[in-house]
Amino acid sequence: MRGALVAVTEIAVVLIDAMALIIIVGATLEAFVRGLKVALTTRSDHERRDVFLRYARWLVAGLTFQLAADIIETSIRSDWQSIGKVGAIAVIRTFLNYFLEKDMEGWRERQREAEAA
């Protein structure tokens, strides 16, 4: 029974890691193309910030998938290296979320000020 659960877990980890990879690669390509377009066609900070915020949201999504895969993997491999990896990803994701939220709050406030003026 345990062998079957380990096999299913290993397959799930590979699939979820693949999903994270697709999200991160796709977001990076999109951010690159949109960033080039914005850099070449406009001077608007609003559009530049939009590219950055969209990219950051996708990175957080990708890291969330990676964290999920690592948590599942840790359930079958409880060595310190696996636990450290999960902890590191959790910390990185937490910092990304925190700074993304701060950036979004600042952007919303500037947007409100622009609308009020």
Q: pLDDT for 66-80, tens place per residue?
A: 888 888 888 887 778
Residue 46: the pLDDT is 77
Q: Is the pLDDT of residue 45 over 80?
A: no
Sign of CA pseudo-dihedral 25, 68, 79, 89: positive
How many residues make up the chain in this entry? 117
pLDDT digits (tens, 9 = 90+) for 3-38: 888 899 999 999 999 999 999 999 999 999 999 999
**DSSP-derived 3-state class of residue 78:** coil
CB 60 within 8 A of CB 17: no
